Amino acid sequence: MAALGWLTPRRRSATARSVLAGEAAAEAARKSSQTIEALEAQEVTAPAVEPEFPVAGDERAAAFFDLDNTVMQGAAIFHFGRGLYKRKFFQRRELARFAWQQAWFRLAGVEDPEHMQDARESALSIVQGHRVSELMSIGEEIYDEYMADRIWPGTRALAQAHLDAGQKVWLVTAAPVETATIIARRLGLTGALGTVAESVDGVYTGKLVGEPLHGPAKAEAVRALAAAEGLVLSRCAAYSDSHNDIPMLSLVGHPYAINPDTKLRKHARQRDWRLRDYRTGRKAAKVGIPAAAGVGALAGGTAAAVALHRRRR
- Active-site amino acid positions: 66, 68
- Please spell the DSSP secondary structure of 89-153, one letter per residue: SS-HHHHHHHHHHHHHHHHH-S--HHHHHHHHHHHHHHHTTSBHHHHHHHHHHHIIIIIGGGB-H
- How many Cα atoms sit within 13 Å of 81 on the Cβ side? 33
Q: What are phi and psi of 70, to 5 degrees?
A: -105, -55
What's the rounded Cα separation, in Å, for the pair 176 and 187?
17
CA 76 to chain centroid: 16
Count of Cβ atoms closer than 10 Å to residue 253 Cβ: 12
End-to-end CA, the chain = 124
**Of 178, 172, 184, 181, which Cα lies nearest the Cα of 241?**
172
Longest CA pairwise span in the chain (Å): 124
Radius of gyration of the chain (CA): 31
